[in-house]
Structure formats: structure tokens, C-alpha cells
Structure 1
Amino acid sequence: MTKNFFSRFTRNMLAVLVCGVAVTSCTFVADNAVNNNDDDAQEQTERTIWVLSDIHAMAPDLLNDQYQADDATKDPKLMLYSTEILDKLVGDALSAKPDMMLITGDLTELGDQKSHELVANTLGQLVSEGIKVVVIPGNHDVDNADGSTTPQKFAELYKDCGFNMAYAKDQASLSYACEPFDGLVLLCVDTSTGTIGDSTMKWMLDETDKAHEQSKQVVVMQHHNVMEHYDGKSSLQKENVLVNYEDVTDKMMKSGIHLVFSGHAHIPDIA
């Protein structure tokens, strides 16, 4: 039996920049070629995946004057409504029932534990209904300021949102690998520091090789962009791409990684 999750890939924009949240709906179709009395039969299994990024949620009692402005020019992330927007997104997902939701970092604005607990509990509604949820941290989520959430606490809070699905974990970061659907390996890469270190890069490539040896498809999700989305972005908005993005892109492409979901830039786009 062979599986190809990229026999058909469709992408539909559902929302653009709501509280910095970019939402994308993807449909993966797995072609299962089964030998049946020397006749090749094709069975297709369709999986719908929602991809979100940059929720920037904040617990209501942490809001201060800085976030009380109704004028979006003063509060472009709409922090005043961040939890309401998150509730609406989760409600829409409960109605649409995608097979999986990926969130590529910046789940909170300040990285505080109270906001993370709020987000984790809200996402738990999806998990309870059988919708797989997979998250990774962004630069706002861990070790963001004094008293913010540690990497270890982040993994504990979101244990039901990917970390308990992991079959392999990187020892140098919060990166992990899981196989949410048979034949589809998801590399969840922690770029919260703005770079991918040498040991984490080696771990990624090793896991990719192992997956390809078993004829499995590999998709990467991470917070920072791995490619420029326009010429000169690494100079004009260098904080949006990985510090070592050129080296990472080169190694990913040579290893056979062809699809990366990222966030951070607050702009839905394909590079």
C-alpha cells in the first residue's frame, strides 16, 4: 500500500487578519493504492485541516489602558476582543468539524500562564469533540518576560494539543514529531527564539529521512517564515523570517520537505 497525501491539495482563505489571526483551510487527499486480485484499486481518504496563527489571546483581567482602545489604529491586534474572537473561531470549528486544527504559534500576547490556561481550555472543547489540535510556541508564548510561561509549562498546558501525540521529541527545543493521520508526519518545529539551532536542524532532517524511508509524507509547521514572502523582506522585516532562513530553506528542500505552515507576519500568503 502506498499513500500520497499530496495527490490533491486545496487551500481556501477563511479569514484575514482578525486579532492577527490568519485562518487557512486545507484539504489533503490520501490515495491508497491497494492490490486486489492484480487490479489496482484507488481509495481516497479526505482530511480537512484548519491552520491558524497568531491568536495573541489575553485573559480579560489582564487588559489595561493600553488595550482598551476601540480604535483599531491604537490596538491593531484587537486585544480587547481577543477571547471573543477565539471563542468564535472555536465555535465555527465545532460546527464545521475539520479533522485537525494546527496553530503555528503566538497563542497569547504576553506568554502569561493565565492566558495560556484560557487558550488551552478553549481548545479543549475541540479535542473533546474528536478534532485533533496541534500547537507550537511563538516568540510571544514562552520566556517572553519576567513571570511568563516556561517551555516546560507550555508543553504541560498543551499536552492534549499535540505534545501527547508526539512519537519523537527534540532535546534542544519544544520541537516534536507526530503522525496525526496514517502516512502523514507532522514536524512541529519550535522557532520561538527566531532561529533553528544546529542540533534541532539535525533532528528535523533525521526524522524526515526516517519518514521518507517508510514512504510517509512530511509537513512542517513553525512560527517564523522560512522564506521571504517578497523580495527584500529579510532586510525590511527581518524579524519575520528565521535568522538562518536561507540555510534552513536549502536543507529542507534537499531533504524533500515541500510544505511548511508558518505565521508571525500576520499576513496570509504563499511563498
Structure 2
Amino acid sequence: MKRKQWKRFLTCAGAAALLTCGGCSRTAGISPSDTKPEESQTEASVSGTEAETGTNIDESAGETVGETVFSPTVPESSSGEQILEKPNGESDDGGQEEEVSYQIIENIILATDIHYFDPSLTDYGPRFQEMVEYGDGKVVTYIDEITDAFLEEVIQLRPNALILSGDLTLEGEKKSHESLAEKLYRVEEAGIPVLVIPGNHDINNKRAARYEGEQRLPAEYTTPEEFRRIYRDFGYDEAISEDVRSLSYVYQLDEEHRIMMLDTCQYRPVAKVGGAILSETYYWIEEQLEEAWEEAMDVIPVAHHNLLEESKIYVDDCTIEHGEQLVNILDEWDVKLFLSGHLHVQHTMRSEDNRGVWEAVTSSLATPACQYGVLTCRDDGSYQYGTWSVDVESWAREHGRKERDLLEFRKFQEPFLRRVFYNQSMTALNAVPDIPEDRKKQMSDLYARLNYYYYQGTAYQIKNEVLSDPAYLMWLNEGTLTVLGEYVEYIVSDAVHDYNRLIVD
């Protein structure tokens, strides 16, 4: 029996002597969206699942990955506990129900990498458009609208908390931070706590910029002290403990759960891409975990950077430096789940021994399909994680917007992101001599489609098509001379199941 389980056994032993508790029948779970990229990403289209241990679902093989069997559940509750359901009320659970012996304690919405950019910082001119079209897929042109649509959706869903795990702004512009904070007050005023931490773009970022015509000009950036002041009402002033050496803190979610918001960013003296945790902060982390164990609390750590090597290609910049130390600490204190972002790709995995902590990486809210995570905490100590997409179209109609891109956002988002990826590929291939133009176009078309699915966490859906595509063989030959060749091979090897759903027992 692990530490926390033993502590809970001792705590509950007295009550168990007085009460004989049978398993109550519950219809439980949320319905996270898991649609194919070519379908609507705005529907809650895949039901939740129940399992004995944490694992991912392998739909390509038609069976589970790991040791457990899954059954569908529906987003309703026969006992009245709060279940999150998309505002449109849609799901494709088929009306199936499963009798299970747990109750829902908390529902948390988590979003990451919003990369909010205040509209006053751009005239949407040619230099701005170049940044968008040749960037990494962020829909900066409509990020103000996407953010508003998301926050209104959060208010409609009424979770127990909203967590934003870093890269709140495009490049750390102070004006963007201040404007985003003003928007977050709407959520707090609706009675929903908001918790934030910084990402690598947010603090001391000398790349903070504004756009005028053909020019990219400096904008005021944000210091660590200013970050805390701007977001003081979104976790920091409500924290039960705050690390004096970083912007990390602990928030008491309910009587059984604490959220540990970890600042993994390096911004002294200037911002770096990679993540690390200060040596002194590790002592604070262990103190908080020990205190939580003493009080029989479950701790959910949240960070911007990844705990595990979620990407074998971008390990140095995405994974926390010496993250194995944090993995060992979390395993020692029986922490089951770690939440992060930064990668912009939807992904999940478990520590290498396949017995320790799980990590769920939520994709960027700014990048199609503009997904966010939904985490359900159950009274048996298990978690259910899934993703939904922001319903930009409904928001646009309700607010009388006229832009076709917003009113038909589902039609707009995939071509937009694939166009960005196509541009990335052509730029890389143009640097390689002697590749015919038609072959570069074929390779870029394949890369754009494959990477689009990879960002959604559903590359497994097209793996067989990719393997039989002549352009894939071109990538294995000419493509190896580019920075993208290894990336293409990795995506295919990693396309084994759906990364949008996870049960952690």
C-alpha cells in the first residue's frame, strides 16, 4: 500500500467501523471531443471511458493499449453530481450507460499556450501577416476572438476551476498580459477560480513586438514582478503556499485536491525556451507534497514545460532539464498525473517504468483545432482527461460577427494550419539542392497533412495512408537532408493511438 493510500486507510478506518458502504450506482464521465480532423472539432463527440489503470485507447487496432478494458459512459448523472457537458449538449455516446461505483468530485478545464496578442499592437499589415503565415500555426489574426469564445464557453460549462498553464501571450507583451487579465476577471466574476503560471514566452522576453505595415517594432515586455502583479487575483493571492524563489504556488481546490502550479521557466536575466526548476524550489516541492500526504490530499502538478520526453525530437527545449529528479519525487509521493503544455501537440505518456506518473500535454489553444483539456476528478482517486474544441462559429453567430473565417471556422482552420506547415516544409526543402519542384510539392503536401493530424493527437488515423504514399519514401531519401526528415519519421513511429483521452486510476 502506497503512502497516501495508507494514510487514507487510517483516516477512514474509524468511519468504516460505523458504516457499511456499498458501491453506489453512478452514470459518470465527461464526453471529451475526439473527432477526426476532417469532422467538426467543436462537438463533444467521443464518450469518456472507465478503466482500472491509466492508459490510452488504441482505436486503430480496435482494442485497448495496456491491461484494461474500457466501456463508454454518458455525460449525465443519476445522482446529481456536476458533469461537464458542451453547451450544445451533443455527444455520440449512443445512449449507453455504465453502472460504476464512483462520484464526480471536481471538473477542471485547462488551457495552455493561448499566445494572446492585444489587437492594439498590430495594424494587421503585411509584416504581421507574414509572421502568421510563416509561423508555427498560431491563429494570431483571430486570437482575440478565439480567447473570448473560449472564456464564454468556460463560463457556460461552469467547471470548478480554470487552469492556464503558460504562454499566456504571444511574446510577453505587457499590454497583452494586461488585456488578457481583464478578460479573466469575467470568469472569476462568474464564480470560477482562475489559476495561471507563466510560459517561456511570457516574462523578460526581449522579442515582445508590435506590427506596423512592413515593420516589426519593439513593445514593452513584462518582468517577473509585473507578471505576479497583473495576475495576482488568478491564483497567487489565493495560494496556500507560494515559493519565494519562483512563481510557483499551491492552490487548495477542495477538501481532497491541491493544484501545484509549477514555474518551470527560465527568464533571469532574459527568457529562454527550455524549462528548468531551481534547486531550492525542489525543496519547496517536497515540503508541499509531504504536507499534502499528511493531510490525505491528492496533488495535481501543472507546469508549462513537459515532465517526460513527450517528443523525441524536441527534448532539449520541451522537457524540463533534469526532469527525472521531479519524476522520482512525484513517484515517491504517489502523484498520478502531471499536466503541461508548451509542445503545441496533443500528447500523453507515462514515465518509462510504465508504473509511475502519467503526463497529459494539452495542445495550444491558439493552434487549430483550438483545443482545451477537461479533467474530471473522481472520489475513488482516479482521473479522466479528454479534449474539446472551442466553438468559435457559435460565438461568432451569437455576437453578430460578419467575418467568414469566424462564421465558418471549422472550414477555415484545417486549410490554414496545413498551409503554414506546407510553408515550413517548402522553406526547409528549398535549402536542399537538386530536389525537383514537383517532388518538393508532393513532400510538402504530405508533411502538411501528417503534421496537422499529429497536432490533433490523431496521426494514427492516417498512418497507413502515409506509409503507402510515394512522398513518404521521398522523405526517407531526400528529406533526411533537412531538419524535418527525422521529424516526419518520428511522427509516423509515434502514431500508435489517440492522444486525446486518458484514464488514470
What's the counterpart of residue 247 of structure 1? Answer: 325
Q: Higher strand fraction: Structure 1 or Structure 2?
A: 1
Cα distance in 2 between the residues matched to 1:250 and 1:75? 33
Most deviating of 165-174 and 239-248: 239-248
Give the match's secondary structure for 1:173: coil
1:12 to 2:32 alignment = yes
* Cα distance in 2 between the residues matched to 1:131 and 1:190: 22
SS in 1 for 2:252: strand
- 1:262 and 2:340 are equivalent in the alignment: yes
Q: What is the identity, as a one-letter code, of the residue corresponding to 2:306?
A: N
- Output aligned runs, 1:56-205, within 5 Å: 56-63=115-122, 65-69=126-130, 72-74=133-135, 76-145=137-206, 147-193=220-266, 194-205=275-286
Structure 1 letter corresponding to 2:32: N
> Are the aligned partners of 1:134 and 1:162 in contact in 2 as well (CA < 8 Å)?
yes
CA RMSD of aligned residues (A): 2.9
Q: 8 Å contact 1:105–1:263 — kept in the other structure?
A: yes
Q: How many Å apart are 1:68 and its aligned residue?
A: 2.4
> Shift of residue 43 of structure 1?
9.0
16 and 187 in structure 1: CA distance in 2 versus 1, 3 angstrom threshold: farther
Identify if the C-alpha distance between structure 1 residues 43 and 9 changes in structure 2 by more than 3 Å, giving closer, same or farther. closer
Distance in 1 separating the partners of 2:221 and 2:319: 24
> Which ranges of 4 or more aligned residues in structure 1 deviate by more than 6 Å?
8-11, 14-17
Distance apart, 1:75 and its partner CA:
6.1
204 and 11 in structure 1: CA distance in 2 versus 1, 3 angstrom threshold: farther
Structure 2 SS opposite 1:103:
strand
Alignment-derived partner of residue 228 in structure 1: 309
More helix per residue: 1 or 2?
A: 2
Bigger CA radius of gyration: 2
Q: 1:195 to 1:207 in 2, by over 3 A?
A: same
Q: 1: distance between equivalents of 2:108 and 2:152?
A: 16
- In structure 2, stretches of 5+ residues that fail to align are 1-10, 13-27, 38-43, 49-74, 76-100, 208-219, 267-274, 350-505
Paired residue type of 2:294: E
The share of aligned pairs that are identical, in percent, is 29
**Does the Cα contact within 8 Å between 1:179 and 1:186 map onto a contact in 2?**
yes
CA contact (8 A) 1:67 1:75 kept: no
TM-score by length of 1: 0.80
For the residues of structure 1 that align with 2:229 and 2:34, how far apart are their CA atoms? 30
The secondary structure found in structure 1 opposite 2:307 is: coil
- 1:54 — aligned with what? 113
Give unpaired runs (5+ residues) of structure 1.
Answer: 3-7, 18-23, 28-41
Q: Distance in 1 between the 2:116 and 2:286 partners?
A: 33
Deviations 1:52-98 (A, max 9, x none): 00000111121364432597455621111111110110111122221
Closer, same or farther: CA 200–58 of 1 in aligned 2, 3 Å:
same
Q: Show the counterpart of 2:271.
A: none
Shift of 1:10: 6.3
Q: CA 1:74–1:176 in structure 2 vs 1: closer, same or farther (change >3 Å)?
A: closer
CA contact (8 A) 2:132 2:138 kept: no
